[in-house]
């Protein structure tokens, strides 16, 4: 079909944030043709960020879980979206323009949207009960059950998800150890300027941080596990949670002819390289980012923005290059961390505010040429919003820091 044929058959594989939002935007933008939304999970589509935040603290009442659904079945039915849950796609025939489902069915498409996201990078240690990972609602439920026991927990991996789990475990009264082979794992999240403060925050809340040493083995079973570190230290624990990143879900595309390199490689308009009428979006997509080269983002706003972008390309023939907002957030205890843009390791950073004194701070990043390229804020949403506006308007680092200083001196902490 031509990109503007609103009657064409659209098949979307992956029924989570990127896939569900694409289907909904297509209808809003006037697409009248059939839309099939295929998902491997049997669950109605749900949002993942609460899995390491609200849901790990909740009592798992039905209404709490339902509040994190991306749509109800009624809404999807009303929109005429053919929802196929619990049926993974197992192959793609780009010549015949058909998706092969695990059920044996072939779904013909005029346009295919690949939104199969990512899966938790598998734990390299031998499987044992009590060793858990977090990607799905079922994973979060299993982790919440273990945390509720209030027994010791070792979290392997000091990334956003690992540290959010650690914070939740502290809330359950667990003794928590976070292990990461990197000496300052928080630097990956917030940059070197704030990494020590974030480690201090976890320590102040009772987390034992074992950084700069890896895990050699995990032995035993739930309730009586031993995590063996590379330096020979043995940590006794009841539960181990392994959060060591994720890998894009592309196995089902092997041999399809699509370019697969740490994700589905696309052009700047998110069209998959190697086939006609195929887009890739969300955590599975690797596209040419203007500032970062071929890039795969694993962030909510990116998946949501790419869904809207591709729906417009399909329903309205919009022919543009995707521009990412590069926005990420994390909640750690009562800290609200936001990052926008990126940090150039060859560039410079300016700190505005004093986290210890004011409880809030902003760090503005410039690239090697001195051009502002990103920022991180802690507990300072007004600064974040201002930085986003100023970055978009092409302001200089001096101008951004000056305006943030004014904002800081004019607004009391409570108004941040």
Ligand X SMILES: Cc1cc2nc3c(=O)[nH]c(=O)nc-3n(C[C@H](O)[C@H](O)[C@H](O)COP(=O)(O)OP(=O)(O)OC[C@H]3O[C@@H](n4cnc5c(N)ncnc54)[C@H](O)[C@@H]3O)c2cc1C
Residue 342 CB, nearest approach to ligand X (Å): 14
Nearer to ligand X, 39 or 341 (CB): 39
10 Å CB burial of residue 406 (0-12, 13-18, 19+) is exposed
Minimum gap (Å) between residue 48 Cβ and ligand X: 3
User: Shortest gap between Cβ of 39 and ligand X (angstroms)?
Assistant: 5
Residues making contact with ligand X (CB under 6 A): 13-19, 38-41, 48-49, 51-52, 88-89, 115-118, 134-135, 161, 249, 252, 282-283, 298-301, 303, 328-330
Q: What's the CA gap between 336 and 416, in Å, rounded?
A: 11
Residue number with CB closer to ligand X (134 or 242):
134
CA dihedral 300, 320, 323, 20 (to 10 degrees): 0
Q: Least Å distance between CB 52 and ligand X?
A: 4
Dig out the tokens for 71 from the structure. 């749509």
CA 411 – CA 323 distance, rounded (Å): 32
SS3 263: coil
> Given the complex with ligand X, which of 229 and 281 has the nearer CB atom?
281
- Choice between 115 and 397, CB closer to ligand X: 115
Measured from the CB of residue 271, what is the shortest distance to ligand X in angstroms?
17
Cβ proximity to ligand X, 282 vs 408, nearer residue = 282
DSSP result, 40-61: SSSSPPB-SGGGGTHHHHS---
What's the chain's Rg over C-alpha atoms?
A: 22
- Cα-based distances in Å from 123 to 131, 136, 228, 363: 9, 15, 14, 34
In whole angstroms, the minimum distance from the beta carbon of 20 to ligand X comes to 8
Q: Looking at beta carbons only, is 18 or 352 nearer to ligand X? A: 18
CA angle 124, 129, 135 (to 5 degrees): 60
């Amino acid at each position: 079909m031509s990109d503007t044929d609103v009657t064409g058959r659209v098949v979307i594989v992956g029924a989570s944030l990127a896939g569900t939002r694409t289907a909904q935007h297509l209808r809003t933008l006037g697409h009248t043709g059939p839309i099939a939304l295929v998902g491997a999970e049997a669950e109605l589509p749900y949002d993942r960020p609460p899995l390491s935040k609200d849901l790990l603290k909740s009592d798992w009442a039905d209404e709490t879980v339902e509040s994190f659904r991306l749509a109800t079945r009624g809404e999807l039915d009303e929109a005429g979206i053919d929802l196929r849950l619990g049926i993974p796609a197992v192959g793609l025939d780009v010549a015949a323009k058909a998706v092969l489902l695990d059920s044996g069915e072939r779904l013909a498409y005029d346009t295919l949207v690949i939104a199969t996201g990512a899966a938790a990078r598998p734990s390299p240690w031998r499987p044992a009960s009590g060793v858990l990972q977090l990607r799905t609602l079922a994973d979060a439920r299993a982790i919440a059950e273990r945390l509720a026991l209030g027994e010791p927990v070792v979290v392997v991996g000091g990334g956003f998800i690992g540290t959010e789990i650690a914070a939740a475990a502290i809330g359950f009264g667990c003794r928590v150890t976070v292990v990461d082979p990197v000496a300052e794992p928080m630097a990956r999240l917030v940059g070197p300027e704030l990494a020590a403060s974030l480690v201090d925050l976890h320590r102040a809340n009772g987390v034992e941080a074992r950084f700069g040493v890896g895990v050699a083995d995990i032995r035993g079973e739930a309730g009586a596990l031993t995590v063996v570190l590379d330096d020979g230290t043995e940590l006794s624990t009841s539960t181990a949670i392994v959060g060591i990143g994720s890998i894009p879900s592309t196995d089902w595309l092997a041999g399809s002819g699509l370019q697969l390199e740490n994700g589905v490689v696309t052009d700047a308009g998110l069209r998959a390289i190697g086939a006609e009428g195929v887009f890739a979006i969300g955590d599975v997509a690797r596209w040419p980012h203007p500032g970062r080269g071929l890039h795969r983002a694993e962030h909510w706003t990116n998946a949501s923005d790419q869904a809207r972008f591709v729906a417009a390309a399909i329903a309205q023939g919009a022919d543009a290059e995707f521009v990412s907002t590069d926005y990420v957030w994390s909640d750690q205890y009562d800290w609200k961390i936001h990052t926008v843009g990126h940090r150039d390791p060859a560039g410079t950073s300016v700190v505005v505010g004093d986290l210890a004194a004011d409880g809030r701070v902003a760090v503005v990043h410039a690239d090697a040429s001195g051009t502002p390229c990103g920022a991180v804020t802690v507990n300072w949403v007004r600064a974040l919003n201002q930085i986003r506006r100023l970055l978009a308007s092409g302001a200089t680092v001096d101008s951004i820091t000056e305006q943030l200083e004014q904002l800081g001196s004019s607004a009391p902490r409570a108004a941040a």
